[in-house]
Structure 1
């Protein structure tokens, strides 16, 4: 009987050591994975920053391009026996009209937007009700 008790004690000790090793290795693995994720995210953030900067530069260049097109439209209208100021006034009026249309469309779109995800909220409420009903059965 003493031999069986000793064997059980050694097995218990081995299991305890295995659990301790598992815990230690798991925490090391998690820390290593977090370090890897952090390194990956910093590289991705760098690329994202460069991309955003390039998009900003492209937007600025496009803005100047639109300005050049507006100037060209004014110059083209001025060639049709209109004074330059009248041509500029016509182009400005057309631009304000387009801005007003875009603003009205944008206003309509933002009215449809809701700060809360309505369908998700309804689904969660339904799930909670089902859980409450299941608990009372």
Structure 2
């Protein structure tokens, strides 16, 4: 196998210290370039998330108005059978009943979840610390 070394004489005469210094500079430049790339990528993704969140918010507002229109339609339809005030009272009461049931279900779910503390992770860290202390005693 023939190996052609195209390096010039000045390159061959570099000391180990110079090579280490060049390696350090190259690694530093590589890390900076990677951080710049990561920053640009995060900025791009952040913009997409922002646009997505804005569109989601606009959809929520449109859904809220649509829901209001459906409530008004239900009141008007019920007003064909009962007086308008009674129709509004019945639809409003029904909505409040649904809201109460949903609130109780949400409260039950939050109660079951417990405190918002990562207890499993904290226990894992305690176990790791205990394990390290035990291994240091040996």
Alignment partner, residue 103 of structure 1: 103
| Cα-to-partner distance string for 1:98-124 (whole Å, 9 max, x where unaligned) | 111111111122222422111111111
- Looking at structure 2, the residues matched to 116 and 22 of structure 1 have their Cα atoms a distance apart, in angstroms, of 45
Alignment partner, residue 117 of structure 2: 116
Alignment partner, residue 84 of structure 1: 84
3-state SS in 1 of match to 2:15: helix
Alignment partner, residue 33 of structure 1: 34
**Count of paired positions:** 125
Gaps of 5+ in 2: 1-11
- Looking at structure 1, the residues matched to 50 and 118 of structure 2 have their Cα atoms a distance apart, in angstroms, of 29
3-state SS in 1 of match to 2:127: helix
Gaps of 5+ in 1: 1-10
TM-score (norm 2): 0.85
1:1-137 map, 5 Å? 14-80=15-81, 82-111=82-111, 112-137=113-138
1:127 positional shift: 1.2
3-state SS in 1 of match to 2:92: helix
Q: CA RMSD in A?
A: 1.4
- Looking at structure 1, the residues matched to 118 and 106 of structure 2 have their Cα atoms a distance apart, in angstroms, of 20
1:134 positional shift: 1.1
Higher helix share: 1
